[in-house]
């Protein structure tokens, strides 16, 4: 495998509904943004594309990928569509990485979109629930918020996690997004606001849950040779990892914890894992990505994380899967302020899915774009001069380069990808 770099990225502003633009034009605008930000890069450099969108139901257009590529002026070059539920964008990013790491191509454009406003919200929830077992789970009352609600009820039972801790995640991410012009929601909220928002599925309330969005995102990846030629501040993709788990939560085992390098088996005596309280796919993806990137201890070796917080509960569960704290301590981790912008390791400085929105096929690439800007130190440049959410290098750790992880997750933890990005300057 040869080194791979991200050389540019672009997004459209995520919004509840964008009826004036089709998915083709949204994608084209995300690519245009990325190309403007990397002026020496031309279409001639681009060897091919990877396109991600989650649901054919939302577009009601099969093979939509090639239509977006056509609008971007990138036919007849090779293209492929990637799909894996909520992790679709993360999988797309890694597919582009594989195209280059393998030596097959030198410059690949990862394009992602979703236009979810084409159906009413509860019909949209139905489409999303069709990404659960349609023989056994969907007919019982298929509803993703219901599935995650059951997972966090078990997390609360096992570890004593509280609804106030969930609310704290929502407050943190919304507050970060107040300084992110790209975010769909700019809410200045308190814990009480979250707790008082309407109950959707106990214990998850409206403000614990991301919303549906229209939007597109683009990440351009390249080999070292192309990156050096066209980009002033390329960001190295240090390592990638993926994991999977059974579609039916009911089928998940109750066995021993999969340990990260820095963990001790004595921490988890008697804990049945993953059950439905944790995501084995997330842990597997992290373990692989950390090993490839040479990360010994994520608490020391990462400066920030953009993770898939479709629910406040899944952010807390994911702190643990990623080894930012021990299993069971996710609630205490947010209480201590560690994932805040000023904390030990900022999590979702962008505002995450909860505040930025979740146009599924674009989401994982949106995380890549924010992480790319973070590593470049160009957040302010892309945010009307507001650099409030720009993460600073953790001091005294013997490293000079800003490093972050992006984590993309499909419901209920069926596909998870983790990619590690690092500044080159």
Interface residues toward another protein, by CB under 8 A = 19-20, 60, 120, 122-123, 125-126, 128-129, 135-137, 139-143, 145-147, 149-151, 153-154, 157, 198-202, 246, 248-254, 276
For another protein, which is the closer residue by CB, 63 or 381? Answer: 63
**First-residue to last-residue Cα distance in the chain:** 22
CB neighbour burial string for 338-370, b if at least 16 within 10 angstroms, e if fewer? bbbbeebbbbbbbbbbbbbbbbbbbbbbbbbbb
For another protein, which is the closer residue by CB, 246 or 259? Answer: 246
- Residue 356 structure tokens: 């930025």
Cβ-Cβ contacts under 8 Å for 39 (sequence gap 6 or more): none
For another protein, which is the closer residue by CB, 145 or 383? Answer: 145
Q: Which position has the token pair 């999988």?
A: 91
Bridge-based pairing of strands 4-11 and 214-223 is antiparallel
- Min separation Cβ 135 and another protein, Å: 6
- Min separation Cβ 42 and another protein, Å: 32
Helical ranges in 218-307 per DSSP H: 224-230, 280-293, 298-301
How far is the C-alpha of 372 from the C-alpha of 360, rounded, in Å? 19
For another protein, which is the closer residue by CB, 151 or 360? Answer: 151
How far is the C-alpha of 57 from the C-alpha of 107, rounded, in Å? 31
For another protein, which is the closer residue by CB, 149 or 238? Answer: 149
For another protein, which is the closer residue by CB, 129 or 286? Answer: 129
Q: Where does residue 19 rank: exposed (0-12), middle (13-18), buried (19+ CB within 10 A)? A: exposed
């Amino acid at each position: 495998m040869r080194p791979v770099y991200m050389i540019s990225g672009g997004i459209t502003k995520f919004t509840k509904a964008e009826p004036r633009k089709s998915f083709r034009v949204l994608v084209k605008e995300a690519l245009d943004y990325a190309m403007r930000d990397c002026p020496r890069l031309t279409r001639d450099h681009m060897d091919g594309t990877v396109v991600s969108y989650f649901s054919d139901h939302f577009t009601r257009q099969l093979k939509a990928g090639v239509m977006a590529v056509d609008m971007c002026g990138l036919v007849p070059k090779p293209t492929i569509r990637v799909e894996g539920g909520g992790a679709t964008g993360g999988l797309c990013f890694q597919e582009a990485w594989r195209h280059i790491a393998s030596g097959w191509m030198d410059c690949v454009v990862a394009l992602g979109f979703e236009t979810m406003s084409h159906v009413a919200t509860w019909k949209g929830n139905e489409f999303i629930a069709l990404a659960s077992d349609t023989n056994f789970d969907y007919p019982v009352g298929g509803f993703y918020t219901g599935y995650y609600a059951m997972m966090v009820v078990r997390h609360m039972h096992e570890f004593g996690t509280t609804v106030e801790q969930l609310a704290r995640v929502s407050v943190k991410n919304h507050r970060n997004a107040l300084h992110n012009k790209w975010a769909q929601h700019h809410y200045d909220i308190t814990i009480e606001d979250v707790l008082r928002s309407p109950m959707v599925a106990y214990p998850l309330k409206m403000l614990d849950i991301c919303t549906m969005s229209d939007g597109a995102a683009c990440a351009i990846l390249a080999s070292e040779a192309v990156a050096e030629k066209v980009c002033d501040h390329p960001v190295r993709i240090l390592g990638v990892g993926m994991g999977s788990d059974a579609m039916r939560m009911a089928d998940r085992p109750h066995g021993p914890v999969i340990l990260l390098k820095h963990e001790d088996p004595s921490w988890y005596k008697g804990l049945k894992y993953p059950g439905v309280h944790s995501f084995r796919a997330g842990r597997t993806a992290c373990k692989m990505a950390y090993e490839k990137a040479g990360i010994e201890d994520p608490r020391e070796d990462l400066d920030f994380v953009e993770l898939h917080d479709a629910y406040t509960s899944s952010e807390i569960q994911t702190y643990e899967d990623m080894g930012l704290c021990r299993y069971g301590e996710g609630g205490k981790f947010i209480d201590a302020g560690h994932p805040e912008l000023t904390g030990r390791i900022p999590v979702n400085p962008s505002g995450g899915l909860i505040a930025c929105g979740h146009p599924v096929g674009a989401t994982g690439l949106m995380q890549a774009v924010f992480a790319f800007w973070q590593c470049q130190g160009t957040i302010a440049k892309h945010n009307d001069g507001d650099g409030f959410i720009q993460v600073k290098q953790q001091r005294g750790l013997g490293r000079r380069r800003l490093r972050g992880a992006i984590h993309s997750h499909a419901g209920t933890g069926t596909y998870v990808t983790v990619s590690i990005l690092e500044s080159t300057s």
